[in-house]
Structure 1
Amino acid sequence: MALARRLIASLQDPEKVARFQRLCGVEGPPGWPKGSASWTPTMLANGSSSCCGCPAGAQAEGEGGGADRHRGLSSSSSSSNSSSNSSSHKVDEQGDGWDWNGVKNGLIAGEACGFESHPGEAPGRDKRQPWGAKRQPRRNSLTGETICQEFSIRSPLLYYLFSFGTELGNELFYILFFPFCIWNLDACLGRRLIIIWVWVMYLGQCTKDVIRWPRPASPPVVKLEIFYNSEYSMPSTHAMSGTAIPMALVLLSYGQWQYPLIYGLILIICWCSLVCCSRIYMGMHSILDVIAGFFYAVLILAVFLPAVDLVDKFNVTCKYAPLIIISLHLALGIFSFTLDTWSTSRGDTAQILGCGAGVACGSHVNNLLGLMPDPPPEMFPLVTPSLTVTLVGKAMLRLLIGVVLLLLVKTGMKKITIPLACKIFNVPSGDTQQARQRMEVELPYRYFTYGMVGFSLAFLIPALFHVMGLS
């Protein structure tokens, strides 16, 4: 047991993440600490709270559990406010709270959290120097983070490669990949991939909010991305989706399409490795988070993959499927979000559930109207068609028109659902950012907006293609 704890603590050490970043050519601003002074391999095993490694100016002492705890300051907190809090777990709906170990989740050293200037420098002075290709981390406007940290990239090739890898787990990729599968490859395959994606992401996000491990401390880690910084860290849902999607894609398509298995294995290895390594490179996950995400996704696939055909058949053919689908997905969303702090995981999970419900309902309507019928079993294995200019042109045209329509549906539903939810639940709508962080606004907005996006993806847009002769 002691050996396992030491191994877990070692794999969660943020210095290992920082070492990988430096190996790949990532450097913090001048004076950035090269190590985490407060991290020791026994901290995780002992449940210690002092694992942030932030400078003294970025910490404030509090009392809790009979021992001193170091709490990182959020960008909206002052040191005087922090010192007046005596409880060991202060949280609110806006996320101004502390994790189980007393550390603010994803704390980043910079001007917003009290990163100290070098001796002899005037406070607030612009410290820009010609020290490489400087960039700012990708941020989420909904969280209101005001991080001023810059970082230097010594290897642009690795930066763009891993940036592409991390995008394979973001919304932009999903809104291109799943429509392409359904509209251009195999609607049945696309539906089943979405079912697996919903299961994997839902279980991953719920597990994060149960375990509540913070993201790697910064410093020593350089945060190249802070878009999901308000979420917890264990397991990496990027690693889970980057493992589950390519594996499911190959397992579900092999035997139904004619292609060499070695191509599928290469796809799985490259896709999974790129996504997993990108999360460490971006400074968003420890090695342990990524390893756990990989094996968790494999376990979910092993348990649920044999049932995916039955679920898909139920969604498409059962008379009462839409009612059951909508009720089940709503229930999963409502009863899963009992967090005492706000994070982006709640909205992301609600939109995943909404998208899954919308696609399932759209597939059911397709079956009722006889649109996009699945190929009969005697046609398998399907032969990959020859690539022609006409075939590629129609595929790209479908993708272009369809994605534009999906974005219009998303924007229109957003404009309708947010003010409507604010009106129904008497939430002030003047500050949209604050309103969207309220559970009674965020859940219906995300669920119904992305439910309509999923329904459009599976039914409305394919029906339009049929009318336009683009089927």
Structure 2
Amino acid sequence: MFQGVILGAIVFWILCSSYLNFTQKLRIFLQPWVNHHVEIGTDFVLQIQSYQHGFLDVFFSGLSCVVSVPFYTAFLPLLFWSGHGELARQMTLLMAFCDYIGNCVKDVLSAPRPPSPPVRRVTATKDEEDNALEYGLPSSHTLNTVCLSGYLLHYVLTHTQIQGPYVSYLGVSLACLFVALIGLVDKQIDSFVISGLNVTSFWAALSFLLLFAYPTPELPTPSFEYHTAFNGVALGIVAGVQQTYHQFHHDAVPRLFSHDLTIPVFMGRMILGIPTILLVKFCSKALAKWIIPVVANTLGIPIKSSSYIKSEKIKQGGCLQKLLPKHEVFDVDTGIRFVQYAGLAWSVVDLVPSLFTYTNL
């Protein structure tokens, strides 16, 4: 019942917001106030940057890499394959939720970043250059860093016997920030993923609708690409865990440093698993690049591609084009990116653990 209500509410929101042009109206109303605070806050940013030091530049550059896509490609599998499946799946869902909400707010407001110069931007890596293209307010990397560190700390405090006045103070502070989201992920969503009905079909429909519910920014930014990738990861994790929970992800699975999962065995898992998930990601991308344009052209859905498919391979026209709004063209890159990351995440929790079983790892 609740699944139909949620999906129906999202469809209703998509239709109403498109018809009423809600995003643009809200942006026009709030953007002057946001721009004013960006201007008056520039001096404060410059004061902070007056403490410039080479070590800080290296630190923030490293932090940018730590919460990048390559990092999650290795870090989340490490958690799943070391026996911490509960931590890994709940952290993934929390970061996906916060990433979506944060990027929606950011692209609705389309708040400018402080002008550079005089504000200095650290763009030593390609990831940092891409992040600089996002609108103001917390970047995707900031959202992921806060969720990652906050949830790791929450997990450690709730699963260990660490005590003390500083720990209590930290726990209270953390609870004020994360109690609502963590409680939602810990209890309702996680139990639904493990033992709910129609989980995979519902999550697939939810992921598909969330792509259309995402607000259109004033100018194109990488934020939607980041959300699409994490949306695909969440779907792959949910689908894989729901199907194989009692085989590979229950609470009694061996954990790292235990008698059943030693360091050599874990290293063997990494050596076998990492190349496998990268191969699945490559195959998923190639398959999506072939299937999605064929299906779209068969249905007559107008599509475009900015990077994945050559323009001469894209055909336009068809019966459904008459039913779509004029000049409405769908970016096929979104579907390709979504499928490749969903395939990668599914292989982490389903395919690779099956290989571990066959190889006695």
TM-score (norm: length of structure 1): 0.56
Q: Once the two structures are superposed, what CA deviation does each residue of 1:46-80 show, in whole Å capped at 9, x if it has no partner?
A: xxxxxxxxxxxxxxxxxxxxxxxxxxxxxxxxxxx
Distance in 2 (alpha carbons) for counterparts of 1:383 and 1:405: 21
Q: Which runs of 5+ in 1 are unaligned?
A: 26-154, 270-293, 377-381
| Equivalent residue, structure 1, for 2:155 | 252
| Equivalent residue, structure 2, for 1:195 | 93
Matched ranges for 1:83-122 at <5 A: none
Distance in 1 (alpha carbons) for counterparts of 2:132 and 2:309: 17
Contact kept in structure 2, 1:354 and 1:447, CA below 8 Å: yes
Shift of 1:387: 10
Q: Against the structure 1 CA distance between its residues 261 and 365, is the aligned structure 2 distance closer, same or farther, given a 3 Å change threshold?
A: farther
Q: Once the two structures are superposed, what CA deviation does each residue of 1:169-202 show, in whole Å capped at 9, x if it has no partner?
A: 2112211221111111411121111111111111
| Equivalent residue, structure 1, for 2:29 | none
Distance in 2 (alpha carbons) for counterparts of 1:228 and 1:467: 41
Corresponding letter in the other structure for 2:77: P
| Equivalent residue, structure 2, for 1:23 | 51
Q: Once the two structures are superposed, what CA deviation does each residue of 1:1-38 show, in whole Å capped at 9, x if it has no partner?
A: xxx9999457631x54445445223xxxxxxxxxxxxx
Moved more, 237-246 or 334-343: 334-343
Matched ranges for 1:351-390 at <5 A: 351-367=229-245, 370-375=247-252, 385=257
| Equivalent residue, structure 2, for 1:234 | 137
Contact kept in structure 2, 1:243 and 1:298, CA below 8 Å: no
| Equivalent residue, structure 2, for 1:409 | 280
1:391 aligned to which of 262, 272, 297: 262
**Partner SS, residue 303 of structure 1:** helix
Q: Against the structure 1 CA distance between its residues 433 and 417, is the aligned structure 2 distance closer, same or farther, given a 3 Å change threshold?
A: closer
Distance in 1 (alpha carbons) for counterparts of 2:231 and 2:342: 8
Q: Does 1:12 align with 2:41?
A: yes
Distance in 2 (alpha carbons) for counterparts of 1:321 and 1:430: 33
Shift of 1:229: 2.6
Q: Once the two structures are superposed, what CA deviation does each residue of 1:399-443 show, in whole Å capped at 9, x if it has no partner?
A: 34322222222222222323443444454669648879x743122
Corresponding letter in the other structure for 1:326: A
Distance in 2 (alpha carbons) for counterparts of 1:6 and 1:351: 29
Distance in 2 (alpha carbons) for counterparts of 1:248 and 1:198: 13
Q: Which runs of 5+ in 2 are unaligned?
A: 1-32, 124-128, 298-302, 315-328
Query: Over alpha carbons, which structure has the higher Rg?
Result: 1
**Partner SS, residue 131 of structure 2:** coil
Distance in 1 (alpha carbons) for counterparts of 2:310 and 2:99: 25
2:344 aligned to which of 453, 457, 465: 453
Q: Against the structure 1 CA distance between its residues 441 and 243, is the aligned structure 2 distance closer, same or farther, given a 3 Å change threshold?
A: same
Corresponding letter in the other structure for 2:95: W
Contact kept in structure 1, 2:61 and 2:122, CA below 8 Å: no
Work out the number of aligned pairs and report it. Answer: 300
Contact kept in structure 2, 1:195 and 1:356, CA below 8 Å: yes
Corresponding letter in the other structure for 1:469: N
1:213 aligned to which of 98, 111, 128: 111
Distance in 2 (alpha carbons) for counterparts of 1:211 and 1:167: 27
Contact kept in structure 1, 2:108 and 2:215, CA below 8 Å: no
Q: Does 1:421 align with 2:292?
A: yes
Contact kept in structure 1, 2:140 and 2:226, CA below 8 Å: no
Which is helix-richer, 1 or 2? 2
Matched ranges for 1:277-316 at <5 A: 299=177, 301-308=178-185, 309-316=187-194
TM-score (norm: length of structure 2): 0.71
Distance in 2 (alpha carbons) for counterparts of 1:311 and 1:428: 35
Q: Against the structure 1 CA distance between its residues 209 and 431, is the aligned structure 2 distance closer, same or farther, given a 3 Å change threshold?
A: closer
Q: Against the structure 1 CA distance between its residues 11 and 374, is the aligned structure 2 distance closer, same or farther, given a 3 Å change threshold?
A: farther
| Equivalent residue, structure 1, for 2:63 | 165
Q: Against the structure 1 CA distance between its residues 222 and 7, is the aligned structure 2 distance closer, same or farther, given a 3 Å change threshold?
A: closer
Q: Which has the higher contact order (CA 8 A, sep 6+)?
A: 2
Corresponding letter in the other structure for 1:223: R
Contact kept in structure 2, 1:208 and 1:234, CA below 8 Å: yes
Contact kept in structure 2, 1:212 and 1:234, CA below 8 Å: no
| Equivalent residue, structure 2, for 1:349 | 227
Q: Against the structure 1 CA distance between its residues 222 and 397, is the aligned structure 2 distance closer, same or farther, given a 3 Å change threshold?
A: farther
